[in-house]
Each structure stands twice: as C-alpha cells, then as structure tokens.
Amino acid sequence: MSTIKVGIAGLGRLGKVHAKNLCHRIPGASLTAACSIVKSELDYAKQELGVNDVYTDFNEMLEEADIDAVAIVTTSGEHCWQIEAALAAGKHVFCEKPLGVTIRECKQAERAVERYSDRVFFLGFMRRYDQSYAYAKRKIEEGAIGKPYLVKATGIDPEALVEGAIRFCGTSGGIYIDMAIHDIDLMRWFLGADAKEVYALGCTFKHPEFEENGDCETGCAMFEFENGALGQIHVGRTAPHGYHIETEIVGTEGSIRISPVPAKNLAVIYDKHGAVQECVESFPVRFAESYQLEMEEFISCIKEERKPGVTVYDGTKSTEMAFAAAESFKTHRAVKIS
C-alpha cells in the first residue's frame, strides 16, 4: 500500500493532535474518515481537516468507510470492544492508552489481537518515542549506568487545569489509573521486569472535591519488581508552574535524569525574579513530537508488515499495576500483583 487510509474515532483534545498529524505530518498516511458522538468534533473534521466522510457510529465507519486502519482515541471504557471490532473488520489498529478500564477488558483485547495476528496492533505509550526517554533506554542497554535498580517518576498536572480533573474524578478510575499508567509502563521498560507488589498512599490538601469522590489530589506509590528493583511514583494535579514530568533511573554505576526542570525551551529570563525558565504548560506541548513519531511508527509497521515494540500485553501489565496501586490506596495495605 502506497498510502495507508486511516479513520479516527474520537476528536477530543488528544484526538485532534493525532488527526492533525495524520492529515499533515505522517508520510504515507491519509486521514479519510472520522467518527464521534459529538457534533462539534465532526464539524471540526469537516471544516478544519477537510474530512467529509464522518460518522456517529463506530461500526458504521468500519463497514462503510474506505479505510485500512483505525486510530482509537475515544473514552477509555470504549477501547477494548472497538479494538476487537476493528480487527474483526480487517483493519489495523492504533489505540490510545489505557488499553482497558478493567483487567477483564484487557484480556478481551489480548485475545482479539492474538486471533487477528495478521493485523498490526499499536498501543499509544508515546513516551517510549520521546527522544529523551528513548535515549535513556539506549544508554541503559549499552550499560552506561550498570544494572538499573530504581526508577523514580514524577507526573503532576497543572493547577490551571484542575477543574477538568475534578469534573471527571468520579469516573476516571482514580489518580493511579488516570495518571500513572505512562510512568508505570516506563518503569517496566527501563527495569526489564514486572512488578510483584505495591504500597500506595494519597492525600488531599487543596481541593476537597477529590476526596469527596473517593480519590485524592496527590498520590505516592512504591513498587517492588520481580528482579528486586524498585519503582517510586509521585502523581498529582496541582503543579502551580505548569505540566511537571520528571524521571530518574538509578543504576549500579550511575543514573540518568530526564526533565529535572520541565522547561518550555532553552531560554532563561533574567529579571527582578531572578533567573527564570518558563515551564511547559500541557502534555500535548511536552510530547508533541512523541505523538507524531509513534503514529509514524504505526504507519511504518503496516507498510513493512512488522509488529511494533509496544504490545497488547504491555497494556495489560501496566493496567494490572495501576489497579493494584488503586486498591492499595483504598485499603491502606500492600497489594500483591499477579
């Protein structure tokens, strides 16, 4: 296939990022159809992207649209049945994280991917395609820091967007499922092992609405991995300075730190406040290149008839770890991970 024709499902904030990439930045790809239950999103597809083949029903798009592949960027609870339906319809599938909102759903997706093994399935753990994280992985594989035994990860959304987090906290699955899945995936990737136990805590000091919905404003979790390594996560929703993502991998012979300051760019402002670096304000900005690179890889996998490095099983394992952390937070006890 010289050009891979893609239909997208979901055109929210992240869906628009993928849609614009498919329209303008991905060689060998063409966005030819769009699906959403929100009229304004379909209007966006027509007016801003020039996609006139639009649908409100996912199955109808699969049956009628002239597409080779589907990009699923819908609500998390819709992912697994849409993955199965798209694969069954003969389409290659890109799906945003999380894989599913229950372990049962993740296993359903695993069986579908296994059943239709001639199709490409790609899970959107885009941080693996971020140049800094990919560089860290290469250095680890080269032995630059010896044997990695600890990953410390911080991920805090900006206070400026907290109202949205409050609005959806009752249905998001909780802070660990909603926010920690990328860091959990990176821990497994960097340490080369699965986790066997987790102890997680949470607290709320600024916005009681989180606590009222059985969630928390800030969470900290400690994972023990099967190879003896450790993983430490700090997630939150109230960074006053912007979108704060920071990761450190510690090994027997050194360590690697990624984004210790979540800088917007390399400029430093010197004024009455001192030496100031502006911070990146949101995940679409911080990981703009990563979203493009992962979609390029998806299209390349289809063209070259090969499978991506990220698998459906990575999605299940990360979801299991996130649910175990959520259970530990709720029960105030350590939880074994199967």
pLDDT in tens, 48-96: 999 999 999 999 999 999 999 999 999 888 999 999 999 999 999 999 9
pLDDT band (50, 70, 90) for residue 24? very high
Using CA atoms, how far residue 263 sits from 242, 246, 258, 281, in Å, is: 9, 11, 11, 9
Question: How much is the pLDDT for 220?
Answer: 98
Could you tell me the two tokens for 29? 């790809």
Average pLDDT score over residue span 298-302: 97
Query: Helices 39-49 and 13-24, interaxial angle, to 10°?
Result: 20
- Spell out the SS3 assignment of 88-128: HCCCEEEEECCCCCCHHHHHHHHHHHHHCCCCCEEEECHHH
Residue 1 scores a pLDDT above 80: no
Question: How much is the pLDDT for 20?
Answer: 97
Taking only the tens place, the pLDDT of each residue in 152-170 is: 999 999 999 999 999 988 8
Taking only the tens place, the pLDDT of each residue in 211-264 is: 999 999 999 999 999 999 999 999 999 999 999 999 999 999 999 999 888 888
What are the residues whose beta carbons fall under 8 Å from the beta carbon of 69, sequence distance 6 or more?
4, 5, 6, 7, 91, 92, 93, 94, 120, 298, 299, 302
Model-level pTM?
Answer: 0.92
